[in-house]
Amino acid sequence: MAASMICASCASVQVSEPAPYGVLPTEQQVEWQKMEFNMFVHFGPNTFSGDEWGSGQEKAELFNPTAMDCRQWASIAKAAGMKGIIITGKHHDGFCLWPNPYSRHTVAQSSWKDGKGDVLKELSDACREYGIEFGIYISPWDRHDPHYGTDEYNDVYVKTLEHALGNYGPVFEQWFDGACGEGPNGKKQVYDWPLFNSTVYRMQPDAVIFSDYGPGCRWVGNERGSAGRTCWSTMEINDELAGHPERIRILNEGTKGGNTWVPAESDVSIRPGWFWKEHENDDVKSLRHLLNIYYESVGRNSLLLLNVPPDTRGLIHEADSTRLMEFCAALDEIFSVNLAAGAQIEAENVRGGSSRFSADNMLNDEYDSYWASDDDVTTVSFTVTLPEQKTFNLVQLQEYIPLGQRVSAFTIEVLNEDGTWKQVAEENTIGYKRIVILPQIATTAVRVNINSSEACPVLNGFALYMDPGLNEK
């Protein structure tokens, strides 16, 4: 298809925008990806017992935070630059943090606030107050419910979902844990995923559903916060996937040309465990560890869901909040100055020669303006000439994902003082956001060579940044 055609009446050149390529994200998935960094909150009886997986036999009284303040959680998330909070409304032990009428194992049976407390209410209110999105984890695995292991359980679970999703306002993400154990009858529950998913969409049409394989977003295949260096938001979802020997690698890297848009979410805890434990107060991840996680998640086309578990007071512990503030300050310092600002940027090919698709569009802050090449050009370079020599060690690239993920191989070169070019990186995918880590480099020009793209490349962001502590040994 020709990218340009002459408009006879106005005698000006109209250049059509690139046709979408492959499967595409929904509007909700694009907005979800733009959130980039969210808070996970593991809270429940395990906070008080020190367990990671409660048996379901814990007494409801065990849950008794002494000073719970969800506004503290939301204000910390906000200050850290997080856009949403997802809370374990029900973990595997079955205890519900809200008065769920379909269970006898909830806050209503505890003595906390005389059985009148409701964590989901307090947190959803706090999120609204601080302009943070609210999401819920409701474990399908339930070690308390006597129906678990029978068909009846799926109905109880659907009622539970309906209740949690129907009473606390908009839910941006429903988190389904894939864990599945045996019930009291020794049988593993057969989860009715189509029913669970349709229930979520009925109650919260705009929610993005997380589970191992989506449908809204996928597990990244590890709990270290590390997406694949190659990371497609597309995946080939089919019946063989669950038993596939390379399942974990596929989740980590996605599949080029896959049949479903199901971007990666990297869930990882700021501590060794998912739940708070006194003896882990000194084991909160270091600033450098968190920055590396950021580069390997947000910087590899994934969303980062960082778990920050409240303590037995029901507060985020000082050790975690202090580290989070350091993390956020470091991100600000690194990413507030684009060292490519004011550069000249020139592409070998610009779609239809039109300024609407010029390479400059990669340097402005408008999400919907992008550089694109002609349809038949899938190998193409652009050169960024800096106003003066700059020193940097991060190159950030962004594809305009509403039109699909396209780039499958690229290299980065920098200009040597003698006028020759030196290759400093060779990578595959870009996606919503890609941060390529380089040794520290001082140069006046950078060249990006798109060596392979499934359709003409469409990029809306290019930036250079400097992380001063990155290359220190």
Q: Six-digit token pair at 231?
A: 């990371």
Q: Please, what is the minimum distance in Å from the beta carbon of residue 59 to ligand FUL? A: 20
Give whichever of 20 and 272 is closer to ligand FUL, judged by the CB atom. 272
Residues 6+ apart with CB under 8 A from 118: 97, 98, 99, 107
Q: Please, what is the minimum distance in Å from the beta carbon of residue 174 to ligand FUL? A: 14
Give phi and psi for 452, each to the nearest 5.
-160, 135
Q: DSSP labels for 342-410? A: T-EEEES--GGG-GGG-GGGGTSS-TT--EE--TT--SEEEEEEEEEEEEEEEEEEEE-GGG---EEEE
Give whichever of 92 and 163 is closer to ligand FUL, judged by the CB atom. 92
CA distance 148 to 180: 10
Of residues 252 through 311, those in contact with ligand FUL by CB under 6 A are: 267, 274
The answer to whether the beta carbons of residues 299 and 231 sit under 8 Å apart is no
CA distance 437 to 331: 15
Q: Please, what is the minimum distance in Å from the beta carbon of residue 139 to ligand FUL? A: 7
State yes or no: residue 248 binds ligand FUL (CB under 6 A). Answer: no
Q: Please, what is the minimum distance in Å from the beta carbon of residue 53 to ligand FUL? A: 6
Q: Please, what is the minimum distance in Å from the beta carbon of residue 52 to ligand FUL? A: 6
CA distance 99 to 90: 11
Q: Please, what is the minimum distance in Å from the beta carbon of residue 342 to ligand FUL? A: 43
CA distance 356 to 345: 14
Give whichever of 19 and 179 is closer to ligand FUL, judged by the CB atom. 179
Distances (CA, A) of 143 to 29, 40, 149, 174, 232: 32, 22, 10, 20, 35
CA 14, 19, 20 angle in degrees (round to 5)?
A: 145
Q: Six-digit token pair at 205?
A: 């049409």
Binder among 51, 58, 177, 253 for ligand FUL (CB under 6 A): 177
Give whichever of 212 and 333 is closer to ligand FUL, judged by the CB atom. 212
Q: Please, what is the minimum distance in Å from the beta carbon of residue 223 to ligand FUL? A: 7
Give whichever of 179 and 195 is closer to ligand FUL, judged by the CB atom. 179
Say which residue the tokens 């001063």 belong to.
468
Give whichever of 274 and 327 is closer to ligand FUL, judged by the CB atom. 274
Please give the helix or strand (H or E) that residue 197 lies within, else none.
helix 193-203
Give whichever of 274 and 294 is closer to ligand FUL, judged by the CB atom. 274
Q: Please, what is the minimum distance in Å from the beta carbon of residue 136 to ligand FUL? A: 13
Give whichever of 52 and 375 is closer to ligand FUL, judged by the CB atom. 52
Say which residue the tokens 């700021």 belong to.
270
Q: Please, what is the minimum distance in Å from the beta carbon of residue 270 to ligand FUL? A: 13
The answer to whether the beta carbons of residues 248 and 291 sit under 8 Å apart is no
Cα atoms found within 13 Å of the Cα of residue 3, Cβ hemisphere only: 19
Binder among 13, 19, 179, 325 for ligand FUL (CB under 6 A): 179
Give whichever of 139 and 378 is closer to ligand FUL, judged by the CB atom. 139
User: Using CB under 6 A as the criterion, which residues of the chain lie in contact with ligand FUL when the complex forms?
Assistant: 52, 177, 179, 267, 274
